[in-house]
C-alpha cells in the first residue's frame, strides 16, 4: 500500500472513530453490526490493515463502553461479539494484553455474576473468558487472580440450561490445565460444587474432577464424603461419573476411606433410613429411597473395584464386605440393591472358593444353588424368612483371611 493510500485509509479510520465518539447508542449499534459483518474471523494483521495500524484505539473504546454500560444491558451482546473479533484474532496476543490491562477480564466476570445480565450474554462472556484462558498460563492466572474460579463455579451451580453449564465447565477445565499456581484452588472448588442441587452440574463437576485428579499426586480427604453421596443420585449419568471417579481414586491416599465408606453404605443405619423417609409422592415418582439407591450403587462399585484388583478384594473382605453384601441382598424394598449385591458376592465367591461354605450356611442349600446358577435373579427366589436371615446374618471370615 502506497503512502497516499495509507493516509487515505488512516483518514477513513479516524473519521470512523469520530463518528463513534459522537454517536449515540443507536449509531454505535449500527457501527458494531457493520464491524461484525466485515471483520468476523479476521487475523490480527488483517484487522490492523483494516484499521490503519490503530485497531487498538477501537478495541479500547469498545472495552470502555462495555465496562460503563454492561449493568444496563445496552447492546451488550453486540459489544461482546465485537470484542470477540479482537480476542480471537490469530497470530498475535497484543489485543489480549490490551484487553486485560483495561480490566476487560474483570468486566467479563462481572457480567457472568451480575443477576440482571441476560443468560445469552453470560454465555458469550464465558466464551470470551475461554478464549482468554486458551492464550496461556499468564492469562489463566489473570482470570484466577480476579476471583474467576468462584464466579464461574457459582454460575455452573445455578445456571438453568445444559449449554451454559457446559460452557462454565469447559472454562473450569481450561483453567485447570497448565495453571499450577491455582490448580489446588480449582480442585477444592470442584469438590465443593459436588453438593450443588443441579444433576447436570454434578455430572460436569465429577467429570472435571476426574480429569484434574489424574494430574495430581494426592487426593484431598474432603472429596470422599460428597463423592459417596453422589451415589445417592437418582440420575444414572451422575452415578456413573461418581463410580468412575471412585475407580480412579483407588490408587490415591484416600483409598481406605473410600473402601470403608462403600462397605458401610451397604448397611444403612435404621435411624438414617427413617430420617431420609420421603413423601409418598416422591416414592411413587422415584420408586425408592435415595439411601437404597446409594446402597445398590455402592455394591456395584465394590464389584468393579474387586474385579480390577485382587489386593482390593482382600482389603474389602477384611472390612467385612461379605456380611454387608449378604445384608444388602436381603433388602426386599429395593430390587437393584439385591441384584448388585448378589453380583458382587458372586465375584468374591468365585474368586475365593473358601468363602463358599460361609455363604451357603447363610443362604441355605436351595437358595445357594440358585445363587450359583444365576446370581442376578436370586431375589426372585427369596421369601420373607430368607430375607430376614440375610438381614440378621453375622458372617465373619476374618479367621480364613490367611487362606485367601
What pLDDT shows up at residue 283?
55
Q: Cell 430375607 appears where?
A: 387
The C-alpha R_g of the chain, in whole angstroms, comes to 29
Angle between helices 183-193 and 199-213 (to 10 degrees): 150
Per-residue pLDDT for 281 more than 50?
A: no
pLDDT at 5 over 60: yes
Report how far residue 218's alpha carbon sits from residue 248's, in angstroms, rounded to the nearest whole number. 12
Identify whether the C-beta of residue 336 lies closer than 8 Å to the C-beta of residue 300: no
Closest CA relative to residue 176, chosen from 135, 129, 122, 133: 133
Average pLDDT over residues 118-124: 92
143 vs 319: CA distance, rounded Å:
45
pLDDT tens digits along 338-385: 999 999 999 999 999 999 999 999 999 999 999 999 999 999 999 999
Which residue has better confidence, 36 or 269?
Answer: 36
| Closest C-alpha to 147, from 129, 160, 162 | 129
Residue 251 C-alpha cell reads as 490408587
Report if pTM > 0.75: yes
Could you tell me the domains of the chain?
1-146 (1.25.10)
Q: Provide mean pLDDT across the span 78-84.
A: 97
Yes or no: say if 344 and 325 are a contact pair by the CB < 8 Å rule: yes
Residue 336's pLDDT is 96
Amino acid at each position: 500500500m502506497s503512502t497516499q493510500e495509507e493516509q487515505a485509509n488512516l483518514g477513513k479510520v479516524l473519521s470512523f472513530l469520530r463518528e463513534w465518539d459522537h454517536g449515540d447508542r443507536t449509531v454505535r449499534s449500527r457501527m458494531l453490526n457493520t464491524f461484525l459483518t466485515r471483520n468476523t474471523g479476521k487475523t490480527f494483521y488483517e484487522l490492523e490493515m483494516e484499521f490503519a495500524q490503530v485497531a487498538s484505539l477501537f478495541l479500547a473504546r469498545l472495552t470502555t463502553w462495555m465496562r460503563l454500560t454492561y449493568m444496563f444491558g445496552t447492546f451488550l451482546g453486540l459489544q461482546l461479539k465485537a470484542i470477540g473479533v479482537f480476542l480471537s484474532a490469530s497470530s498475535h496476543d497484543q489485543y489480549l494484553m490490551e484487553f486485560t490491562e483495561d480490566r476487560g477480564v474483570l468486566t467479563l466476570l462481572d457480567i457472568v455474576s451480575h443477576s440482571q445480565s441476560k443468560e445469552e450474554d453470560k454465555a458469550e462472556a464465558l466464551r470470551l473468558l475461554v478464549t482468554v484462558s486458551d492464550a496461556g498460563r499468564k492469562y489463566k492466572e489473570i482470570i484466577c487472580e480476579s476471583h474467576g474460579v468462584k464466579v464461574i463455579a457459582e454460575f455452573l451451580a445455578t445456571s438453568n440450561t445444559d449449554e451454559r453449564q457446559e460452557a462454565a465447565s469447559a472454562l473450569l477445565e481450561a483453567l485447570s490445565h497448565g495453571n499450577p499456581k491455582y490448580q489446588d484452588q480449582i480442585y477444592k472448588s470442584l469438590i465443593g460444587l459436588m453438593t450443588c442441587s443441579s444433576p447436570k452440574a454434578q455430572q460436569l463437576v465429577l467429570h472435571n474432577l476426574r480429569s484434574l485428579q489424574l494430574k495430581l499426586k494426592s487426593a484431598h480427604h474432603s472429596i470422599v464424603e460428597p463423592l459417596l453421596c453422589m451415589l445417592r443420585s437418582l440420575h444414572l449419568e451422575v452415578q456413573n461419573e461418581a463410580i468412575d471417579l471412585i475407580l480412579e481414586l483407588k490408587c490415591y491416599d484416600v483409598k481406605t476411606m473410600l473402601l470403608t465408606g462403600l462397605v458401610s453404605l451397604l448397611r444403612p443405619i435404621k435411624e438414617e433410613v427413617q430420617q431420609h423417609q420421603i413423601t409418598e409422592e416422591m416414592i411413587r415418582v422415584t420408586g425408592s429411597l435415595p439411601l437404597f439407591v446409594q446402597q445398590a450403587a455402592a455394591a456395584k462399585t465394590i464389584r468393579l473395584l474387586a474385579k480390577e484388583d485382587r489386593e482390593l478384594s482382600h482389603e474389602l473382605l477384611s472390612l467385612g464386605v461379605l456380611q454387608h453384601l449378604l445384608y444388602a441382598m436381603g433388602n426386599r424394598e429395593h430390587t437393584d440393591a439385591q441384584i448388585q449385591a448378589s453380583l458382587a458376592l458372586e465375584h468374591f465367591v468365585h474368586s475365593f472358593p473358601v468363602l463358599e461354605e460361609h455363604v451357603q450356611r447363610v443362604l441355605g442349600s436351595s437358595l445357594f444353588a440358585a445363587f450359583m446358577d444365576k446370581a442376578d435373579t436370586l431375589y426372585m427366589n427369596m421369601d420373607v424368612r430368607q430375607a430376614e436371615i440375610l438381614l440378621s446374618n453375622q458372617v465373619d471370615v476374618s479367621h480364613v483371611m490367611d487362606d485367601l
